[in-house]
Amino acid sequence: MLRLGVLPTPAVAHLTAALGADLGVMLSASHNAAPDNGIKFLARGGFKLSDAVEDEIERRLGEDWSFPVGSAVGRVRDAYGEADRYITHVLATTRDRLDGLHVVVDCAHGAAHMVAPEALLRAGATVEAIGARPDGLNINAGHGSTHMDKLQQIVVSRGADIGIAYDGDADRCLAVDHTGAIVDGDQIMAILASAMHAEGALAKDTVVATVMSNLGFKLAMRDAGIHVVETAVGDRYVLERMKADGYNLGGEQSGHVIMLDHATTGDGLLTSLHLLSVMAATGRPLKELASIMTPLPQILINVKDVDRGKAAVPELTAAVAEAEAELGESGRVLIRPSGTEPMIRVMVEASSEEHATKVADRLAGVVRVACV
């Protein structure tokens, strides 16, 4: 067994493949607090295990096993220096230098706290790091991609060009432009897809997104001559579709972006490096690049204590059809039953927040009556 030390999930994925390991193991709570830590497994080649394999592992945990003892257990070798192999790999994916760019990175007191500042410094950027003092318990606490207010303030006060926020295991990132405005995963994907499309590097002129991606993203991609393929929510479903159909860019609004030419999973450092590379190559500020799409106001209502199995009852189906006709091409409706709770999610996008709220409230009312 090789002990890699504190590294991002995508680093473990890359090294699992690069070192020819049979299995990669990551202890992580993703964007959550330390008490929520769990185990992520990565198969040979660096890809996440399928749902079926994970279910089988959980089933077998309840069985009686005869475990090896003593010397039969195996050996552990420290391999902390392999972090440099990962950094070198990420930097080799782009030729652009970042000289002249002032970047603030928020490492969420997590796994990116060493590799992200180091990689961006090597690429030529001026780097300030916050949330880079992990103590084993403070991961994601008040920092990172779910707590961006500090990053927004510092980017503006320092006059930085961009802020990058990773989550605890750094498999995702979000950004902040020089005015302090947040740039989400949809906007990042739009920027990268447009740049790759212009270079002829976007496979099949297609990007893979989930049903939660903003309609503004899909409209922007249509206008740019780029197809959008939708999947269920979850980066694993994005990846499955990419692998099945030969696409090389996909992701989620949350900031999970998969660049399959270079990585087997979402990679916050890789994503941020390529976003910065577009800024460097074009000389355009992030705010201008992000204007490629105009996010539509999105209202999400979680209707609790209902029967999630009734999300397709006739009363709700009719109400959704009426709402879709009302919104036309300037909005959309998405009804999603929770996979784990007695809850149905109502999401509405419209040309104005007021209109989206009105439609969402109306549909939520139908759910409360028809789905009990």
Q: Are residues 58 and 103 in the same domain?
A: no
What's the order of all strands across the beta sheet hosting 343-349? 298-304, 343-349, 332-337
Look over the chain and give the mean of its residue pLDDT values, rounded to a whole number.
Answer: 95
Contact 158, 244 (CB under 8 A): no
Residue-wise pLDDT for 164-179, tens only, equals: 999 999 999 999 999 9
**Does 361 lie in the same domain as 269?**
no
Same structural domain, 126 and 259: yes
- Into how many domains does the chain fold? 3
Spatial separation of the C-alpha atoms in residues 75 and 77, rounded to whole Å? 7
Question: Is the predicted pLDDT of residue 71 greater than 90, yes or no?
Answer: no
Look at residue 70 and tell me whether its pLDDT is greater than 90: no
- Per-residue confidence (pLDDT) for residue 20, from 0 to 100: 95
Do residues 45 and 168 both lie within one domain? no
Q: Are 258 and 356 in the same domain?
A: no
**Average pLDDT score over residue span 220-236:** 95
223 and 103 both lie in a single domain: yes
Does the pLDDT at position 220 exceed 90?
yes
Per-residue model confidence (pLDDT) at position 110: 96
Is the pLDDT at 64 greater than 90? The verdict is no
Set 30, 194, 213, 272: catalytic member: 30
- 276 and 361 co-located in one domain: no
The CATH number assigned to the domain holding 21 equals 3.40.120.10
Average pLDDT of the residues in 245-257: 98
Q: Which of 53, 80, 107 is the last residue of a domain?
A: 80
Q: What is the average pLDDT across 86-93? A: 98
Ranking 203-217, 250-264, 333-347 by mean pLDDT, the lowest is 333-347
Do 339 and 207 share a domain, yes or no? no
| Inter-residue contact 4 to 82 (CB < 8 Å) | yes
Q: Residue 340: its pLDDT value, please? A: 78
Looking at 68-77, 136-145, 213-222, which range is the least confident one? 68-77
Does 52 share its domain with 73?
A: yes
Average pLDDT over residues 222-249: 96
- Residue 302's pLDDT is 96
Per-residue pLDDT at 226 exceeds 90: yes
Report residue 150 as tokens. Answer: 């500090």
In this structure, the answer to whether residues 271 and 360 fall within a common structural domain is: no
Last residue of a domain, one of 274, 290, 306: 290
Q: What is the pLDDT of residue 239?
A: 96
Question: Is a pLDDT exceeding 90 seen at residue 101?
Answer: yes
**Any idea what the CATH number is for the domain that residue 362 is in?**
3.30.310.50
The whole domain housing 29 covers 2-80
Percentage of residues in the chain having pLDDT higher than 70: 100
Q: Do residues 66 and 183 both lie within one domain?
A: no
What's the confidence (pLDDT) of residue 92? Answer: 98
Least confident of 30-34, 133-137, 313-317: 30-34
Question: How buried is residue 63: exposed, middle or buried, by Cβ count under 10 Å (0-12/13-18/19+)?
Answer: exposed
pLDDT (average), residues 15-43: 93
Do 204 and 93 sit in the same domain of this protein? yes
Over 90: is that where the pLDDT of 338 sits? no
30 is a catalytic site residue: yes
Choosing from 80, 107, 123, the residue where a domain stops is: 80
